Chain A
């Protein structure tokens, strides 16, 4: 039997289950192997290749929804007097904007300068508005 026909015969033969197992020879030393540099490791709870896990995004969404409903409830004059309600509403808005910018827009993992600038702007904006509003 020539070597070509033997290879063809082996190719059509049903492979044993062990042949489907991961090949250990595919190598920690392979050029394609995952890097294991601890400096690049993610914090606990984070998923590989992501900045925030799906659970974090969901919790942030829940918090945003709760703050929105809370804002609506606060707008009722019977629940809170005008000036106090305004301060609370603007505080909720600042907190919501921090959640959106920090988690959804991933600023908490961006450069610190941008985070500080953004946070300062949002707080300053809300403070100015609350001062100006009657």
Chain B
């Protein structure tokens, strides 16, 4: 067979043997090709070729991060909701003390912290999007940015705590300060935990450790970070702004 014949054979429909010998495709690539399906995760050529398409996330209508995480989110929201309600009751009982305590806070710093957290939330959401697109580097950068926003938030919050505690305020100073230190302290611990989840995830994503099968992990970390945002969105006006 001449050269022409060989080229025709190479460019034609591939034989079964050639198809089997073909190297495995990047599972992410399939999702980028305009497809609305993703392949079942596998990095082996054999499993890749027998894989079936699974429905898109929209078609599945599943909770991002999984049901167990959302039960945790529900418990957290109920707990903080109870704290916010007791804060409102305390304020109703002793408005003068609450007004005096609130006057010692810095609403501008609170607003700055809100913007920082919301920016971190946006980055985390974009990190999930990048992961679904198969952009490991972008996922890593976004999650790293979200972790950095958490660190900035904690720095500002520590500055506020230093000022408040430097003025001799303790948990027992007044009902307002008990609520402020307890609720914002608990939220601070959540931010710390969020940064603790985001940083290793960003690092591992940067090393390409997450494939399509790890979508739940990426989503769970992002949802936890959004929970931190969600709590702060109520905490900020209640403690800093409502007069």
A31 touches B70 (CB 8 A): no
Which residues from A are CB-within-8-Å of B89? 132
Tell me, yes or no, whether A2 is within 8 Å of chain B by CB: no
Given known pairs A50-B132, A72-B108, the reply for A114 and B63 (CB within 8 Å) is yes
Residue in chain B with minimal CB distance to A9: B3
* Pick from B30, B34, B74, B115: contact of A65, CB under 8 Å: B115
Q: Does A111 contact B (CB under 8 A)?
A: yes
B63 contacts A42, CB within 8 Å?
no
| Closest B residue by C-beta to A30 | B19
A85 to B114, CA, bound (A): 19
**Does B108 contact A100, Cβ atoms closer than 8 Å?**
no
In the complex, which residue of chain B has the Cβ closest to the Cβ of A125?
B81
B125 contact from A71, A97, A104, Cβ within 8 A? A104
Cβ–Cβ contact B241 & A89, under 8 A: yes
In Å, the complex CA distance between A79 and B3 comes to: 84
Q: Select A109's contact among B25, B55, B58, B124, beta carbons within 8 Å.
A: B58
Interface residue count on the B side (C-beta < 8 Å):
76
State which of A26, A57, A89, A128 has its C-beta within 8 Å of the C-beta of B129: A57
Query: Of B30, B122, B230, B242, which is within 8 A of A60 by CB?
Result: B122
A48 to chain B, nearest CB (A): 6
Q: Are B49 and A114 in contact (CB under 8 A)?
A: no
Q: Which of B132, B226, B241 contacts A71 (CB 8 A)?
A: B241
Surface stretch bound by A, among B36-44, B158-166, B180-188, B193-201: B36-44
A116 at the interface (CB under 8 A from B): no
Q: Are B237 and A89 in contact (CB under 8 A)?
A: yes
Docked-complex contact B115 and A104, CB < 8 angstroms: no
User: Are B125 and A40 in touch, CB under 8 angstroms?
Assistant: no
* A32-B25, A100-B233 as given contacts; A75 in contact with B240, CB under 8 Å: yes
With A40-B59, A57-B122: A50-B88 Cβ-Cβ less than 8 Å:
no
Is residue B17 contacting chain A, with contact meaning CB distance below 8 A?
Answer: no
Closest partner residue, chain A, to B134 (CB atom): A49
Does B237 contact A92, Cβ atoms closer than 8 Å? yes
CB nearest neighbor in B for A85: B243
A68 touches B241 (CB 8 A): no
Contacts of A114 in B (CB 8 A): 63, 70
In whole angstroms, how far apart are the Cα atoms of A41 and B53 in the complex?
Answer: 13
Query: Could you list some 28 contacts between A and B, CB below 8 A?
Result: A34-B33, A34-B37, A40-B36, A40-B56, A48-B31, A48-B32, A48-B56, A52-B125, A68-B114, A68-B236, A74-B241, A75-B242, A75-B243, A89-B237, A92-B237, A93-B237, A97-B233, A100-B230, A103-B125, A104-B229, A105-B226, A114-B63, A114-B70, A128-B88, A129-B85, A132-B88, A132-B91, A133-B92
B32 CB contacts on chain A under 8 angstroms: 48-49
Contacts of A60 in B (CB 8 A): 122
Q: Is the CB of A31 within 8 A of B49?
A: yes
Chain B residues near A26: list those with CB within 8 A: 14
Q: Across the interface, do B34 and A48 meet the contact criterion of CB distance under 8 Å?
A: yes
Contact check, A52 vs B84: say whether CB atoms are below 8 A apart. no
With A25-B14, A41-B36 as given contacts, are A10 and B6 in contact (CB-CB < 8 Å)? Answer: yes
